[in-house]
Structure 1
Amino acid sequence: MHVIVATDGSVASLAGARQFQHIADSREITDVTVVAVVSPYAAVPFANEITERRNTEPTDFSFQAEAAAAVDLVAGLFEDWGPVIHRQVRSGSPAAEIIRAAEEADAGLISLASGDRGLTTTILLGSTASRVQHSAPCPVLICRPSRTGR
């Protein structure tokens, strides 16, 4: 089975990837594609909270480089796990691009985190996770990290 693991560069998405790895049976998974999506209309850079920032000046941020660094870190979780690892940085609407990645890969599962962006402290499910859940071509595992970040 091919699995899409989405990251938005948040600590929650890293914890969600770890949760997925903990509960999944690696013998059943042939491929893992780690996907990050950069919005072409973003007013701020890709919110990479999980790797060291190479650029610290607001004018030096590279949305693509920050997203690629987050993808590399999450993909590293699966390096010795068994499946073939693919990395993608896409541009567009996060939900639409995660769904498109799943369709293109004929994925059997999408795994993503919820609850670490925008208004999600006051609502139960993040908007991207909700959109993916309702429109995905396959089952969706939505991980909500514990308060300790695990």
Structure 2
Amino acid sequence: MTPTSATTPTGSHVASTGVEDGRSLGQIVGDLSNDLTTLVKQELELARTELKEEAAKAGKGAGMLGGAGVAGLLALILGSFALAYLLDNWMPVELAFLIVTLIWAIVGAVLAARGRKELKNANPQLPETQQTLKEDAAWVRAQKN
């Protein structure tokens, strides 16, 4: 279809593509409003979904840090007593308590390092939502023109 030229009542020429919508200005504004409402709802749903995924990752890391805390507590209590009684046969009691405590401290450090790594892998920036918001902004700009 080729564009045609039409003359307005004031005598100026207006290019036309030959496509007539048949909707009134009020209907167009109403449709645009409905489209924007739907778009905002979809963006909120996407953000909610992404936040749930990221919260699950952060929860896993926090759980590992909690495990590191429990391991540290066990290092102080169980390690000091169990191995101290065993090693007391070959060395002074003080050295026996120190050895067991160091073993549990190493376990706690490993769990803490893994938990920290999990927390760093969580991405709270919501990359998909940011991308679709940029696309939506471009779409709105295109609708204005």
Same fold (TM over 0.5): no
Normalising by structure 2, what TM-score?
0.22
Q: Report 1 or 2 for greater relative contact order, CA contacts < 8 Å, sequence distance ≥ 6.
A: 1
Relative to total residues, which structure has the larger strand share, 1 or 2?
A: 1
Relative to total residues, which structure has the larger helix share, 1 or 2?
A: 2
Which has more radius of gyration? 2
